[in-house]
Structure 1
């Protein structure tokens, strides 16, 4: 995206976090909330920044400014509601696409926006193609670049599909995967899309953080 058409990014942070047992956005990693880590990695590469979650007094000390991006779909249909809200966030700012990332992935690549945007520019039909991050042979559907033009299509899918899975929505769309490398560290492999679901994952992330 050019300077005239910035790439917005929205962090999806509205999950219930049953396995972690607490609000993931506020979980502390090396003395800072997870939300602060993700905001700091996105700020140099995307703007404006938004966070999809209820307004519960969310804070991210010493992190870049962000806007709260509320759901617009009823019945809390999971990550798809956040992605839909992100599409509308982009559309309100006359941006054709929006990057989404999960709040529990503190090692998001520092070039994720540039690489996904480059893939979008090369797509045959960019306004109907989702650019999805991939690492270690796995796709990461929540770490993706979404066309804002798909907002109505997504809302219709949520209204008619019982499972309401991101992968189910993507199955009916054009997609392009962009692969990111896993790096070796003294503490083991560092997947840039490593996500924190449990206290054990949090401990592993703390060991890997100096190498991210």
Structure 2
């Protein structure tokens, strides 16, 4: 990175969740013959040499050889996992993704990272017809951490309720389409049917 304004970047992958609809740990399920989380790691690796996992099951994920963080506030949903990541982040910026997103798009995240640096905002989050994609986004750790904590103290569990309280830049569908023309970046797998459909897409 040659731009002196460009913040350093860490990538965090959330590997928590109850996986009630799937019935097992989604990140460890074989996707095209290897654990889904391994596919996610490989897709985000071009973004940073600093990749961490947020998980309360470190022994199950040790095979990846990555740093791991236990939930700072167990049982507090995706926002609790995100807060864990921003609190531990040693970089200026944090790219946050979930382990159940087989088509995580490094180009979309790289674009979000560029916008964060260029526009001086605190969060850069894709916005689609389905709403915000806060688990495929980039955050400025120092400014987002206290706002996340306040939201958690108020009982929030979801990722997007606090975004209006910081300088958030939403990436539009038109911007996203430049880097994700097939519209797959935000697909996640919550059920066995979702998983099989995503595998079929990946094979094609």
TM-score normalised by the shorter chain: which range applies?
0.7 to 0.9
Asked if the contact 2:8–2:93 (Cα under 8 Å) also holds between the matched residues in 1, the reply is: no
| 3-state SS, counterpart of residue 161 of structure 2 | helix
Asked if the contact 1:135–1:193 (Cα under 8 Å) also holds between the matched residues in 2, the reply is: no
Aligned length: 196
- State yes or no: 1:108 paired with 2:108: no
Structure 1 residues not aligned, in runs of 5+? 185-189
Match of 2:114 in 1: 118
Equivalent residue runs for 1:53-92 within 5 Å = 53-59=55-61, 65-73=65-73, 75-90=74-89
TM-score by length of 1: 0.82
For 1:77 and 1:2, how far apart are their aligned partners in 2? 38
For 2:147 and 2:181, how far apart are their aligned partners in 1? 37
| 3-state SS, counterpart of residue 111 of structure 1 | helix
Structure 2 residues not aligned, in runs of 5+? none
TM-score by length of 2: 0.85
Per-residue displacement from partner, 1:148-206 (whole Å, max 9, x unpaired)? 112122112211x234321212232321122422545xxxxx52211101111111111
State the 1:34 CA deviation.
1.0
Q: In 2 relative to 1, CA 170–207 (structure 1 residues): closer, same or farther, beyond 3 Å? A: same
Asked if the contact 1:15–1:78 (Cα under 8 Å) also holds between the matched residues in 2, the reply is: yes
Q: Which stretch has the larger CA shift, 16-25 or 130-139?
A: 130-139
State the 1:55 CA deviation.
2.9
| 3-state SS, counterpart of residue 166 of structure 1 | coil
Per-residue displacement from partner, 1:12-34 (whole Å, max 9, x unpaired)? 11111111111111111111111
Match of 1:47 in 2: 49
Which of the two has greater helix per residue?
A: 2
Match of 1:18 in 2: 20
